[in-house]
Amino acid sequence: MSVLAIMAVAVLGLFLGGRFYAPLIGRVLGERSDRTTPAVAINDGRDYVPTKTPVVFAHHYASIAGAGPIVGPVLAILYGWGPALAWILIGGVFLGAVHDYLATHIALREGGKNLTVIARRYIGPGAFVMLLILLVLLLVLVCAAFLDLSAKALTSRVSLSVLQMSPDQKLFRVENGEAVIGGIASTSVVVITACSPLLGFLYLKRKVPVWLCSLLALVICGVSIFVGLHLPMSVSPLTWKLMISGYVLISAGLPVWLFLQSRDFINVHVLYVGIALLVVALIAAALRGGGQMAGASGIPLDNWTEASRQLGPGWPVLFVIIACGAVSGFHGLCAGGTTCKQLNNELAARRVGYYAMLLESFLAVCVVCCLVVGLSLVDYKAYCYPEPAKRNAVLTFAMAVGHTTHVGLGLPIAAGALAAMLLLEGFLVTTLDTAIRLTRYLIEEGWATFFGRFDVFAEVGLPAAETPAKGQVGVAGGLTTEETPPAPALVTSGPPVPTRGLLRLLLGTLKHYWVNSGIAVALMLVLGLGNGYTVLWKIFGSANQLLAALALVIGSCWLFTHRRPVRYTLLPALFMLVTSGWMLVRLLSQDLPNWSQRAPLVVTEFLVLAMTVGIVSLTAARWQRTRQERRLAVAA
C-alpha cells in the first residue's frame, strides 16, 4: 500500500473527527462564548495571563507534543505499522482529543484550577490527596524520562559511512570516527531560550501582531541553527542534564510569558516546519516510487507475534507505549495547569484542546510513515532494539527522517537527520519546562491544603466554580438537560492557627515558589540520574494512561453532576483503566523480584496502582450517593 493512501486516510479521519465529533463534545460540555475565563478574571501577570488563541495553541501544542508522539511510535512499530496507525487514529479522535478538550473546558469552568482541586470539589478530600500523589509521581516520571532523552539527543552518534559523508566533512563534530549529530540542536535550544523574553515582551506588552511575531520567531529559529552549526554543544550528558535542570528551576518561578510561553511560541515554528518537511518528503517519496509500505525487507504491516515475544503482549503493551499520539494524561495536566490560565475565550478550549491533539496524532502518523519508508526492519532493530545499553529511539527517528528526505527530496541523509534532531531536542526541553512548572503548582496546592489551618497558608477558601443560572437548558447529543450548581468548594473551618518562630519560618519557606520549583527539580534528578528512558518509558506510559483514564472518570463525574451525558467520556475511561492498570500490574510483577535494584520504580508502581484503586472507589461511591439523592428528591 502506498504511503499516500495511508496519509490520505489519516488526514480524512482526523478531519472528520474535528469537523463532526468535536462540536458534538462541545454540546455535551455546554460550551459558551459569553463566560468570563479565569485568565481574564484574575490576570495576575504571572500565571493567569489572557493571551491570543494562536499563541496559547503554540504553547499548548509545543508542551504536549514533546518527544511523546515521536518516541512512542518509534518504540511500538515493532508490532507492525498497521496496529500502530490504527491505535493512533482511533485513540486520537475518540479518546485523546476528547480527554484534552474535556480537561481544558472543565478547568476553565472551575476557576482555572487543576485536576486535583476539581476532584476535591466533586469527589472529596480523599480523592484530592491520592490524585495529588499520583500526579506528582507522573510528572516526576515525565521529567526524568525526557531529561534522559534530551541527553541522548545531545550525544547521539552515528557512523560517517551510514550518513554517506567523507571523513573530512565539516558539518558534525567527529568522535572515534562517528559524527555527533545532537550538539547542533542543543545549541539551537540555548539560543532560542535566550531570545524568548524579547518575543514575549513584544506580543504581550507591546501588542505586536501575532503574524509579525511569527516572522521574528522564524528568524530566531534560523539564527539558532546557524549558531549551532558553528558552535555545536560539546558537554557530557551529566553536565547537560544539570544545565537543563538549572534552567527549568529558574523558569518555573518566573512569569509564564517570560520564558515558558514565549519559548514555546518560537519552538513551535520548528515543529510546524518539521511537520511540513515530513509531509513533503513522504509525498515526494511516494511519487518517486519509494513510498510503498512494507516492502520486501521493510517494517511489515503486522509483526504482532514477534514483537509480543520480545516486548510483551500487544495488548496492553502497544496501547501504553504509544501514549501522546493517541491519548495522554500529561495533556490534561497541561490543559488544567498552564493552558487554562491563558485562554481569553471559552470557545478557544475546543480549538486548543481538541485540535492540538489531532495535530499531534497527525505528527505520530508522519513518524510511522517515515519509519516504514526510511528504514528496513533490520536497520530499525539495529538502532532501536540492539543490546539494552545501546538502544536509542532518538537516533532511530533521526535516521528514518534522514533516509526519507533522501529518498523523497534527494537531500543528504545527514541533513534530514539533523532536521529530526532539531525537531526533537527543542521539544524535549519545552515539555520539561512545562512539567516542572506543573509540578510546582501541585506541590503548592498540597502545602496549602495540608497546612491550610495555619495563618501562613490560611485562605478563605478555594475560588468558587461558576454556577449556571437556574433553569438554563442545554442540548447534548440529542438530550435536553438542566444544569445544576457544582459541588461547593472546600473551605478552611475555624480561625487560622497562629504560628511563630521556627514553624513560621518553615511554613513561609514552603510557600515560596522558588522552593517548590527546587523540590520539583530535585525529585526529577533523583529518578532521572539513576534510570534511562528505556527503563522509565513503560512505567511512564502506564501511569500516564492511568491518569488519562482518571481524568476522564473525574470529567464524567463533573458531567454527571451537571446532568449531562457521560457515555462519550466514561467508555474511553473504562477502556484505559483496564488497559493501563493491567500493564502496571505486569510491570510490578516483573520488578518485584529485583526490588533491591529497582526500589524507586517498585515504590512508584505500587503507589500509582494504590492511588488509582482508591480514586476509582471514591468516585464510584460518590456517584452512587448522588444517584440515591436524586431518586429520593424525585420521590419526595
- The larger pLDDT score, comparing residue 106 to residue 155, is at 106
pLDDT at 490 over 50: no
Distant-in-sequence, close-in-space partners of 68: CB < 8 Å, separation ≥ 6: 323, 324, 325, 328, 330, 360, 431
In this structure, of 28-32, 409-413, 489-493, 602-606, the range with the lowest mean pLDDT score is 489-493
Q: What is the pLDDT of residues 307-320, one digit of tens each?
A: 999 999 999 999 99
Residue 485 has pLDDT above 60, yes or no: no
Comparing 572 with 594, the larger pLDDT belongs to 572
* Rg of the chain on CA atoms, in Å: 24
Q: Residue 590: helix, strand or coil by DSSP?
A: helix
Most confident of 157-171, 251-265, 557-571: 557-571
DSSP 250-277: HHTTS-TIIIIIHHHHHHHHHHHHHHHH
Average pLDDT, the chain: 85
Residue 448: is its pLDDT beyond 60?
yes
What is the rounded average pLDDT of the residues 206-210?
Answer: 88
Report helix, strand or coil for 179.
Answer: strand
Contact 513, 444 (CB under 8 A): yes
- Per-range mean pLDDT, top range of 520-529, 564-573, 589-598: 564-573
Beta-bridged to residue 8, according to DSSP, are: none
pLDDT band at 604 (very low <50, low <70, confident <90, very high): confident
SS3 236: coil
Residues with Cβ < 8 Å from 89, sequence gap 6 or more? 9, 10, 13, 14, 361, 365
| Rounded Cα gap, residues 142 and 249, in angstroms | 16
CA 164 to chain centre: 35
Helix or strand run (H / E) with residue 40: helix 38-42
pLDDT at residue 423 tops 90: no
Q: In whole angstroms, what is the distance from residue 456 CA to residue 370 CA?
A: 55
Tens of pLDDT, residue by residue over 28-67, are: 999 998 899 999 999 988 788 899 899 899 889 988 876 7
Exposure string (b/e) for 492-528, b if CB count within 10 Å is 16 or more? beeeeeebeeeeeeebeebeebebbbbbbbebbbebb
Neighbours of 18 (CB within 10 A): 19
For residue range 540-590, list pLDDT tens digits in order.
778 888 989 999 999 999 999 999 999 999 999 999 999 999 999 998 898
22-36, 197-211, 291-305: least confidently modelled range: 291-305
The per-residue b/e assignment along 539-550, b for 16 or more CB within 10 angstroms, e otherwise, is: bbbbbbbbbbbb
User: Under a CB-based contact definition with an 8 Å cutoff, are residues 415 and 310 in contact?
Assistant: no
pLDDT tens, 216-236?
999 999 999 999 888 888 888
Identify the residue whose cell numbers are 492511588.
611
Among 322, 361, 323, 331, CA closest to 102: 331
Of these ranges, 385-394, 412-421, 527-536, the one predicted with the greatest mean pLDDT is: 412-421
pLDDT of 177 higher than 90: no
pLDDT the model gives residue 397: 92
Residue (of 488, 619, 633) closest to 549 by Cα position:
619
The more confidently predicted of residues 428 and 111 is 111
The pLDDT-based confidence of 535 (bands split at 50, 70, 90) is low
Residue 286: predicted pLDDT: 87
pLDDT band with cut points at 50, 70 and 90 for residue 537? low
Mean pLDDT of 593-609: 81
The residue that leads in pLDDT, 614 or 205, is 614
3-class DSSP assignment, residue 16: helix
What's the pLDDT at 256?
81
**Spacing of C-alpha 454 from chain mean position:** 35
Which pLDDT value is given to residue 1? 61
Q: Do residues 430 and 63 touch, judged by C-beta distance below 8 A?
A: yes
Closest by Cα among 42, 37, 18 to 109: 37
Q: Give the separation between CA 149 and CA 152, rounded to whole angstroms.
A: 5
Q: How far apart are CA 471 and CA 477, in angstroms?
A: 19
More confident residue, 383 or 469: 383
State pLDDT tens for residues 334-371.
898 889 999 999 999 999 999 999 999 999 999 999 99
480's enclosing H/E stretch is strand 479-482
Question: Which residue ranges make up each domain of the chain?
Answer: 3-34+52-457+510-635
List phi, psi (to 5°) of 171. -75, -45
pLDDT tier, 532 (very low <50, low <70, confident <90, very high otherwise): low
Residue 298's nearest CA partner among 377, 232, 408 is: 377
Q: Between these two residues, 16 and 111, which has the higher pLDDT value?
A: 16
Q: How far lies 521's CA from each of 62, 146, 253, 524, 528, in Å?
A: 20, 13, 12, 5, 10
Average pLDDT over residues 387-402: 83
**Across residues 323-339, what is the average pLDDT?**
89
Topology of the domain comprising 3-34+52-457+510-635: Hydantoin permease (1.10.4160)
pLDDT at 251 over 70: yes
Model confidence at 491, pLDDT cuts 50, 70, 90, reads very low
Percent over 70 (pLDDT), the chain = 91
